């Protein structure tokens, strides 16, 4: 928050929440003269694809591997696969039931495609959802939670 305040020339302590509705209006002056200011954009590559990389990211794969860049541990090499295997699959994943079609699916698709069907996680705890008084799941998007 302090870095955002600094880069956007905002008063210290003015950014108190990083959720979308609080940062959408913040503009950061561009470091390139004549360019428009920087702002949060709607477009994200794909949040499910990005979160699906969790088991590999926890091992900093393919960047932290034996042999370094271009060495015997280059991505896809036996050394890199052995390094990843010592840290993959993830030991534990816990999320709500609503993650089944998004995160859990992407975890499995990526692990199947990249590592010959090795599952993305060893253990999974899938909890239920808390419902609001209207019977729908409570969510920030619907703002159907008590304040």
Are 38 and 70 within one domain?
no
Domain assignment present for residue 119? The answer is yes
Q: Does any domain span residue 6?
A: yes
- How high is the pLDDT of residue 91? 82
Burial 43-57 (b: 16+ CB within 10 A, else e): eeeeebeeebebbbe
pLDDT value, residue 68: 47
Predicted confidence band of residue 4 (pLDDT cuts 50, 70, 90): very high
Mean pLDDT, the chain, rounded, equals 80
pLDDT band at 111 (very low <50, low <70, confident <90, very high): confident
One domain for residues 64 and 121 = yes
Per the structure, the complete domain to which residue 11 belongs is given by 1-43
**Do 55 and 92 fall within a single domain?**
yes
pLDDT band of 1, cuts 50, 70, 90: very high
Place of tokens 């305040």: 5
Q: Is there a domain that residue 68 lies in?
A: yes
Q: What is the pLDDT of residues 95-105, one digit of tens each?
A: 888 877 778 88
Closest CA to 39 of 69, 15, 66, 8: 8
């Amino acid at each position: 928050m302090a870095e955002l305040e600094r880069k956007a020339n905002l008063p210290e302590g003015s950014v108190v929440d990083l959720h979308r509705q609080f940062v959408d209006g913040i503009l950061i002056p561009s470091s390139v003269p004549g360019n428009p200011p920087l702002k949060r954009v709607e477009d994200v590559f794909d949040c499910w694809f990005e979160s699906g990389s969790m088991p590999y990211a926890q091992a900093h794969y393919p960047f932290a591997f034996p042999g370094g860049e271009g060495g015997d541990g280059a991505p896809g090499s036996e050394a890199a696969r052995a390094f990843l295997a010592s840290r993959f699959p993830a030991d534990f994943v816990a999320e709500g039931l609503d993650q089944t079609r998004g995160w859990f699916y992407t975890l499995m698709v990526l692990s199947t495609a990249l590592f010959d069907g090795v599952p993305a996680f060893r253990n999974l705890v899938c909890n239920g959802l808390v419902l609001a008084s209207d019977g729908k799941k409570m969510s920030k998007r619907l703002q159907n939670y008590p304040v």
